[in-house]
Chain A
Amino acid sequence: MRVTQGCFSFLPDLSDAQISAQIDYCLSKGWAIGVEYTDDPHPRNTYWEMWGHPMFDLRDAKGVMIELDACRKAEPEAYIRLVAFDSTRGFETVTMSFIVNRPKVEPALTMSRTEVDGRSIRYTHQLVR
């Protein structure tokens, strides 16, 4: 099942040239870019592993692409995303995030229902590999 989270996730996977163009856009906005990866794409898994430090002082997308290539090489079967961090006072948050690498076979998400307190239902989601 294709995981859809972050920008562009309903589009076909971005090519490297398209990723570079998106990074250039982020850099032109003055955002810092971090590379993050995980093997657990559950929507509640907010904090992915960081691949090195976020890059605060880049001018060109190539610097990120070098790190992304290194990360892909080390974790070819992981989800990898790029997060752009806006340090403007008042924002100080991630403003953009998109997946740039997926495993060949993606896990599926299943939903299970639990009846509690009579007929009330609690929902939870789980990854199924």
Chain B
Amino acid sequence: MSQMIDLQAEFEASGAREVLEALDAELIGLAPVKARIRETAALLLVDRARRSLGLAAQTPTLHMSFTGNPGTGKTTVAQMMAGLLHRLGYVRKGHLVSVTRDDLVGQYIGHTAPKTKEVLKRAMGGVLFIDEAYYLYRPDNERDYGQEAIEILLQVMENNRDDLVVILAGYADRMALFYNSNPGFRSRIAHHIDFPDYGEDELARIGEGMMEAQNYVLSEGAKAALAEYIALRRVQPQFANARSIRNALDRARLRQANRLFSRGGVVEAAALSTIEAEDIRASRVFHGGLETARKGDAA
């Protein structure tokens, strides 16, 4: 074939490189996810080149499934995926519409279809991110309106492949169950991406990054306390990875503010932006864990 296309030039021109670099820079850990997204980007780029040479006519199926525990960055990655798909020309606007069951399923008969369609209209030209998608299907209640939303979704996922990309997200085991009971979804989703839990040092880096973004500094003692906190918190129930860390740091900011305020007098800028070890160590995680503390008060 005489026609040629420079993939590297295509890659540069599309602006996909910036998205992939942002993905690398902003997200800590998640190596398998990054690898998968790189592969997907390469596939889409090659597909685009093929299409421009007239070798492929159809839009590839781009609907995805993100599985993983809470707080592992599914929404953040979905946001970047929307940007990537937009740069590569697979969605027209590249915005992300994030919804849950409540946004799709109505409360009475005839309420679901307009509600779902409303959301789909809003998501046209972008990416529809359905968090905890398995709640759409309630096997214990055969009259559940979720089924209606599922049917509309499936229809749109098939007929409007050029107009929007649907990403379903949720816990791995419950999503597997969901796909088993809704084979229509499984066959319409091409990319399954699994989000692993973060390691302890990754969580510590995430926490420091979060504080840095808000112009806070962790003192050396606080860093050590945070590392200990993470090790303790991870083994306790209801651990939500990065989200738990963010909440813990929010509470540490609260304690820091309280500490500075109750001390009174003049405060300097450095003190205002430094989180000390005591702010973190006051957490109930260090004092017997969540279950024992929950009955008393929330620390």
Q: Could you list which residues of chain A lie within 8 angstroms of chain B, going by C-beta atoms?
A: 55, 57-64, 66-67
Contacts and interface: CB of A to CB of B under 8 A. Distances in A.
A28 to B, nearest CB: 10
Nearest to A63: B121
Nearest to B97: A59
Nearest to B126: A59
Indicate the member of B95, B122, B164 with the most A CB atoms within 10 Å: B122
Contacts of A55: 121
Contacts of A64: 121
Contacts of B120: 63
Given A59-B93, A60-B92, A66 B122 contact: no
B124 interface: yes
Indicate the member of A57, A58, A63 with the most B CB atoms within 10 Å: A63
Main secondary structure of the interface of B (DSSP, over half): loop
Nearest to B117: A66
B160 A62 contact: yes
Main secondary structure of the interface of A (DSSP, over half): mixed
A61 to B, nearest CB: 8
A55 B119 CA distance: 11
Interface string B107-136: 000000000010011101110000000000
Contact-residue size bin, chain B (C-beta under 8 Å from the other chain): 10 to 19
Nearest to B121: A63
Contacts of A60: 92-93, 124-126, 163
Nearest to A64: B121
B122 A62 contact: no
Q: Which 5 A-B pairs have the closest CB atoms?
A: A60-B125, A63-B121, A62-B124, A60-B124, A63-B124
6 contacts: A59-B95, A59-B122, A59-B125, A60-B125, A62-B92, A66-B124
B112 to A, nearest CB: 16
A64 B117 CA distance: 12
Contacts of B121: 55, 58, 62-64, 66-67
A40 B92 CA distance: 37
Indicate the member of B95, B121, B126, B163 with the most A CB atoms within 10 Å: B121
Contacts of A66: 117, 121, 124
Nearest to B91: A60
Contacts of B160: 62
A108 to B, nearest CB: 37
B105 to A, nearest CB: 19
Interface string B24-54: 0000000000000000000000000000000
Interface string B180-216: 0000000000000000000000000000000000000
Contacts of B126: 59-60
Nearest to B163: A62
Nearest to A65: B124
Indicate the member of B95, B120, B125, B126 with the most A CB atoms within 10 Å: B125
Indicate the member of B92, B120, B164 with the most A CB atoms within 10 Å: B92
Indicate the member of A59, A61, A64 with the most B CB atoms within 10 Å: A59
A40 to B, nearest CB: 27
